[in-house]
Amino acid sequence: MKEQETADVGSLHHQRTSAVELKGTVFTLPVLKLHSTDLDAIEHELKVHLARGLNFFRHAPLVIDLAAVEKQAAELDLAALAGILRRLQLFTVGVRNAGPWAAERAVAAGLAVLKGGVTKEEAKEKSSAEPPVATEVLRRRTRIIHHPVRSGQQIYAKGGDLIILSSVNVGAEVIADGNIHVYGSLRGRAFAGVAEDTGARIFAQSMEPELAAIAGNYQVFDEPVPSSLQGKPAQIYLEEEQLVMAPL
């Protein structure tokens, strides 16, 4: 009888053991915004960008944004494009802003179709439709970090701003759905407005980032920041899809 009980317990334990576990988490993914369906032109420009020091993106997962080429989507060979990116050591995870035809092609090429995020037009419509008070309440969800963010660490503020009361070291990442405030030196990577907030900004008492991004628009800082801003309070914001660094 005892042997039977032992066998039953062992069987139950085996049944409870899971081979996999699905968990939600947050990753910041570089976005490749296409403005052309010419694969030769795309490959050439990417090689030029990578040669200029954008090695941060090598071996990184990448999302292809099709919004600007929606009308030319029928001309785009997504499988061939993914192959080009692989040769450049850029690994395509999926596509976003894909119409029905492009979504079908993406799935056939083994790519995911990302549904998250909103277009700029949708964001504007949503902003004008929502009461200002509701927007203000959402923006009050702020995360405050009292210690330095060290190399290899990643800090994320979901649904609001991120305030760092110290410095962000080289190799560290700070991420926020809203603004990022660093009351020390920003030497790592900063991703603001990751929830498609194009109005988000990055502020630092000393602006020396490796990389800065706002709403998926990236800039790698291969060279030191301008001498007029070095070691001084500065901000980074988005203007016509270009990052601008300015004094505070």
Say which CATH number the domain at 88 has: 3.30.70.260
**Residues 86, 200: Cα–Cα separation, whole Å:** 32
- Over residues 217-248, the pLDDT tens digits come to 888 776 777 777 877 899 999 988 788 999 98
Instruction: Determine the pLDDT at residue 136.
Output: 43
DSSP letters of 6-20? HHHHHHHHHHH--S-
Residues 140, 233 within the same domain = yes
Q: Is residue 5 part of a domain?
A: no
Is the predicted pLDDT of residue 81 greater than 70, yes or no?
yes
Instruction: Determine the pLDDT at residue 231.
Output: 78
Is the predicted pLDDT of residue 190 greater than 90, yes or no?
yes
* pLDDT band, very low/low/confident/very high, at 202 (cuts 50, 70, 90): very high
* Strand, coil or helix: 48: helix
Q: Which two tokens stand for residue 218?
A: 């990236």
Instruction: Determine the pLDDT at residue 168.
Output: 95
Is the predicted pLDDT of residue 109 greater than 90, yes or no?
no
Q: Is residue 24 part of a domain?
A: no
Evaluate whether 102 touches 141 at the Cβ level (below 8 Å).
no
Q: Is residue 7 part of a domain?
A: no
Using the 3D structure, point to which of 89, 116, 143 is the last residue of a domain.
Answer: 116
Instruction: Determine the pLDDT at residue 135.
Output: 42
Is the predicted pLDDT of residue 116 greater than 50, yes or no?
yes
Is the predicted pLDDT of residue 131 greater than 70, yes or no?
no
Residue 182 is classified by DSSP as: E
Instruction: Determine the pLDDT at residue 161.
Output: 95
- Over residues 5-60, the pLDDT tens digits come to 555 545 544 455 678 776 655 566 778 888 888 999 999 888 877 766 555 566 77
Residues 106, 133 within the same domain = no
User: How many residues would you count in the chain?
Assistant: 248
Q: Which two tokens stand for residue 91?
A: 């690994």
Q: What's the predicted TM-score (pTM) here?
A: 0.56
Residues 150, 223 within the same domain = yes
For residue 165, the enclosing domain spans 128-247
Q: Which two tokens stand for residue 203?
A: 């502020």
Instruction: Determine the pLDDT at residue 121.
Output: 47
Residues 138, 232 within the same domain = yes
Please state, rounded to an integer, the average pLDDT across all residues of the chain: 79
64-82: average pLDDT: 85
For residue 226, which amino acid is it? P
Instruction: Determine the pLDDT at residue 205.
Output: 95
Q: Is residue 61 part of a domain?
A: yes
Listed in sequence order, the residues at least 6 apart from 2 whose beta carbon sits closer than 8 Å to its beta carbon are none
- Give the chain's count of helices (H) and strands (E): 6, 15
Question: What is the gyration radius of the CA atoms in the chain, in angstroms?
Answer: 22
Residue 188 sits in a domain of what CATH number? 2.160.20.70
Residues 84, 151 within the same domain = no
Instruction: Determine the pLDDT at residue 4.
Output: 54
Instruction: Determine the pLDDT at residue 179.
Output: 96
- Over residues 135-162, the pLDDT tens digits come to 444 445 899 999 999 998 999 998 899 9
Residue 210 is classified by DSSP as: S
Residues 180, 101 within the same domain = no
Top-confidence residue, 152 or 122: 152
Instruction: Determine the pLDDT at residue 113.
Output: 87
Instruction: Determine the pLDDT at residue 220.
Output: 79
- Rounded to 5°, the CA angle 178-183-187 comes to 85
Give exposure, 43-56, as e/b (b: 16+ Cβ within 10 Å). Answer: beebeeebeeebee
Is the predicted pLDDT of residue 134 greater than 80, yes or no?
no
Evaluate whether 166 touches 184 at the Cβ level (below 8 Å).
yes
